Chain A
Amino acid sequence: MVSIRDLSKVFYRGGQPVQALDNISLDIPSGEFLVLMGPSGSGKSTLMHLIAGMERATQGTCEVHGVDVAKLDESSLADWRSRNVGFVFQTFNLIPVLTALENVEMPLLLTKLSPARRREMAEAALDLVGLSDRAAHLPKQLSGGQEQRVAIARAIVTDPLLIVADEPTGNLDAHSAQEVLELLQALSHEPGKTIIMVTHDPKAAAYGSRVLHLEKGSLVAC
């Protein structure tokens, strides 16, 4: 499903090159719940951004379902993201003026679906994360765990094959974190879905089907 070959990313900071990723090769089969771990600055987020088509590699290829993401132009890349990737962030990142349901519906505005169908799908996604009764609430009226579950509903509403989550439990208490992780794990059991999660928490990592460690931009064996 995801096939990475000799992937490097160099940032320039004040003229100085920073090697965020150094020649990474990696295959992620469909159905995997991959966990990325490693010290701060090791390149976890960067790797995830490249796979999710949010950033471009300096070198190497990253094919997702046979599409070399780096070769797409800005506009096609945006289309590709909207159809293929769901995002979950550490800081939830819901739109504060929209209700839970509207936040979930947001990605569907890019589709040609009818308003009724959009609403139906958003309701189904919200139901899946167990928040149907919170549909009309604004993000600020929800707890952190609920916000993150709404974010997961938004990530899955378009039914993408790839879901990326950057420290999704980083801002949550143990109980909420568990709910979120169980949700992600359940999703990974759906046919064909691939989940990539970055975390610092070994307990969270235990939910994954495979754990990879990064250090200074390279994969290390554990």
Chain B
Amino acid sequence: MNIATFIIKNTWRNKRRAALTSLSVAVSLFLLTTLLTALRELTVPPEDVGASLRIAVRNKISLANTLPAKQRGNIQKIPGVALVSPLTFFGGRFKEDDGIGFAQFGLDADLLIGIFGEANLPPEQFDAFKKDRRACLVGRDSATRHGMKIGDRITVKGGIYPCDLDLILAGIYYGTIDDRNLYFHHTFLDEAMGNWGQVGTWWVKVKSAEQVPEVIRAINATFANTSAEVLAETERSFQLGFISMLGNVTAFIGVLSSVVVFTLALVTTSTMSLTIRERFRELAILKALGFKNGEIAAFILAESFMLSAAGALLGVGGGWLLYSKMSVSQATAGIFPFFEVTPQIAGAGCFVAVILSLISAVPPIISACQLTVVDGLKTLD
């Protein structure tokens, strides 16, 4: 036997308690990992995807206010701009009785793939879509749900706009973060509205990521002091604009994380204190045999560390495994496109576990050190 065996046997002597403690550490660290990953995803924009090249331009007053179609030429002229397409949220209903609908967007059909490059669909379907001004594309999820086939007539009743759209399904796309939307020709909406001359938003594709900030500035400046001032922002912050309507999410996540860690510290500290208190008599024996406070403190610390380490392995490791296997992007409708547990986040989780094992070992170490041999022997089992 050696010291390590002794510590391991001690740690798992009360198997249920050790398992429950490790499990509560695991669940909390899993939660923490999730929160930190969410926080990172919300604050750090994704780097390597078309999204980082896309700029959303909306009316400065609110999303509900439209923009004049004639702005397009001005935007197109700005250096760094590759493509510009209108994108108007139609907000209609596909079937009266269907609660779960899907969004419909009018855009420039020619530019769909150019701007939203992630969408996959057979080239002949895309061609068919471009050729017919009544054509539309639907995401695979919606097509499956509603049993749509190519060539079907799709009627969308207007909600925001006082017109109905009578469309023909030309293609079914897949592979975007949200394969549910319906896309149709913006020109079709314009006609249905009687030469409307307005668009909901502009979506701009920039030539390179470095030019994005400059292009955003230029677009905002171009329409400053006009009757339709705009707010240009990256697609990411455009999406986050929706999220932040729910409140200050990042601060909320920060508070939540602290609460998780704090609660966890309370749980592990009380468990460790209880565990060691039950063993005062044995600790007194060890002291009688000649073990010193330093050694006894090391035993307690090692035990606390083992419980936390098991929890960290399970919680952080489990989180990493889960999020790398499951598609968080789909589960959150694209709000979290990657949800990657980075080494830094895993490291932070493990660091918290180490600190936790230190903190929870302190009170039992103090009481174990204060224990005298004779007093310890008098405690009952």
Contact A109 B3 (CB under 8 A): yes
A54-B374, A55-B373, A89-B377 are contacts. A97–B13 as well, Cβ < 8 Å? Answer: yes
Contact A78 B6 (CB under 8 A): no
Judged by a CB distance under 8 angstroms, whether A72 is at the interface is no
Contacts of B291 in A (CB 8 A): 78, 82, 110
Q: Mark B276-300, 1 if CB is under 8 A from A, else 0.
A: 0000011001111111110000000
Of residues 1 through 24 on chain B, the ones whose CB sits less than 8 Å from some CB of chain A are 1-3, 5-6, 9-10, 13
Of residues 252 through 302 on chain B, the ones whose CB sits less than 8 Å from some CB of chain A are 281-282, 285-293
Judged by a CB distance under 8 angstroms, whether A41 is at the interface is no
A108 nearest CB neighbor, chain B only:
B1
Q: Mark B366-381, 1 if CB is under 8 A from A, else 0.
A: 0000001110010001
Bound-state CA distance A97–B7 (Å) is: 10
Could you tell me the dominant secondary structure of chain A's interface residues?
helix
Contact B290 A83 (CB under 8 A): yes
Bound-state CA distance A107–B1 (Å) is: 11
A54-B373, A89-B377 are contacts. A110–B289 as well, Cβ < 8 Å? Answer: yes
Of residues 200 through 253 on chain B, the ones whose CB sits less than 8 Å from some CB of chain A are none
A109 nearest CB neighbor, chain B only:
B3
Contacts of A101 in B (CB 8 A): 1
Contact A87 B2 (CB under 8 A): no
Q: Which of A87, A91, A96, A102 contacts B289 (CB 8 A)?
A: A87
Bound-state CA distance A131–B90 (Å) is: 87
Contact A97 B374 (CB under 8 A): no
Most buried by A among B285, B290, B374: B290
Q: Which of A78, A98, A106, A118 contacts B287 (CB 8 A)?
A: A78
Contact B373 A98 (CB under 8 A): no
Contact A105 B372 (CB under 8 A): no
Q: Which of A52, A75, A95 contacts B282 (CB 8 A)?
A: A95
Contact B10 A110 (CB under 8 A): no
Contact A81 B288 (CB under 8 A): yes
Bound-state CA distance A74–B291 (Å) is: 11
Bound-state CA distance A115–B4 (Å) is: 13
Bound-state CA distance A101–B6 (Å) is: 13
Judged by a CB distance under 8 angstroms, whether A79 is at the interface is yes
Judged by a CB distance under 8 angstroms, whether A93 is at the interface is yes
Bound-state CA distance A211–B219 (Å) is: 104
Bound-state CA distance A74–B281 (Å) is: 19
Judged by a CB distance under 8 angstroms, whether A213 is at the interface is no
Q: Which of B1, B281, B289 contacts A98 (CB 8 A)?
A: B1
Contact A102 B373 (CB under 8 A): no
Contact A82 B374 (CB under 8 A): no
Contact A93 B285 (CB under 8 A): yes
Contacts of A54 in B (CB 8 A): 288, 373-374
Bound-state CA distance A106–B287 (Å) is: 12
Contact A82 B1 (CB under 8 A): no
Q: Mark A70-86, 1 if CB is under 8 A from B, else 0.
A: 00001100110111000
Bound-state CA distance A96–B12 (Å) is: 12
Bound-state CA distance A149–B372 (Å) is: 26
Contact B288 A87 (CB under 8 A): yes
Contacts of A82 in B (CB 8 A): 289-291
Bound-state CA distance A68–B195 (Å) is: 108
Contacts of A118 in B (CB 8 A): 1
4 A-B pairs besides A87-B288, A93-B377, A109-B6 with CB distance below 8 A are A78-B292, A82-B290, A87-B285, A91-B381
Chain B residues at the A interface, C-beta cutoff of 8 Å: 1-3, 5-6, 9-10, 13, 281-282, 285-293, 372-374, 377, 381
12 A-B contacts (beta carbon < 8 Å): A49-B373, A55-B373, A78-B291, A87-B285, A87-B288, A89-B285, A91-B381, A97-B13, A98-B9, A106-B1, A109-B1, A109-B6
